Amino acid sequence: MRRLLFLGITIILLGLALAFWYREGKRISSTPGTQELTVLLPSPRVEFLPLYWAAASGEAEKEGLVLKLLPSASPSPGEKTLAALTAEEALCGRTLEGKKWKVVALLSEKELAWLAGRQPFRWEDLPGKKVITPAAEQGLTAAFEEVLREQGWRPHRDLILITNLPPHLRLPAFAAGVGDLLLTPDPLILSGRFRFSSLPLSLPPFPRWVLVAEEGRVPEKAVLALGRALEASQAKLYSLPPQEIAGETAVFFPQLSLEVLTRAIDRAQRERIWKAGELPHPQAFARLQEILKRAGELPRPLDYQELFFTPAPRPLREEGNRAGGSASAAPRR
Q: What is the CATH number of the domain that holds 298?
A: 3.40.190.10
DSSP strands (E only) in the chain: 35-41, 65-71, 81-86, 101-108, 114-117, 130-132, 160-162, 181-184, 197-200, 209-214
Q: Which residue range(s) make up the domain with 149? A: 114-200
Task: Give the pLDDT confidence of 5-16 residue by residue, as tens digits.
Answer: 334 444 443 443
Q: Is residue 143 part of a domain?
A: yes
Pair 127, 148 in one domain: yes
Q: Is residue 88 part of a domain?
A: yes
- In the chain, the number of structural domains is 2
Pair 286, 265 in one domain: yes
Pair 137, 259 in one domain: no
- The burial of 34, by beta-carbon neighbours within 10 Å (0-12 exposed, 13-18 middle, 19 or more buried), is given as middle
**Cα 148 to Cα 127: distance, rounded to the nearest angstrom:** 10
In order of 4, 170, 182, 192, 328, the CA distances from 189 in angstroms are 56, 11, 10, 8, 63
Pair 138, 212 in one domain: no
Task: Give the pLDDT confidence of 134-167 residue by residue, as tens digits.
Answer: 999 899 999 999 999 999 999 999 999 999 999 9
Q: Is residue 262 part of a domain?
A: yes
Indicate the residue type of 43.
S
Pair 83, 168 in one domain: no
Pair 69, 151 in one domain: no
Pair 188, 156 in one domain: yes
Q: Is residue 323 part of a domain?
A: no
Q: What is the pTM of this model?
A: 0.82
- The burial of 136, by beta-carbon neighbours within 10 Å (0-12 exposed, 13-18 middle, 19 or more buried), is given as middle
Task: Give the pLDDT confidence of 80-118 residue by residue, as tens digits.
Answer: 999 999 999 999 999 989 999 999 999 999 999 999 999
Model confidence at 21, pLDDT cuts 50, 70, 90, reads very low
Please report the pLDDT score of residue 195 as a whole number: 86
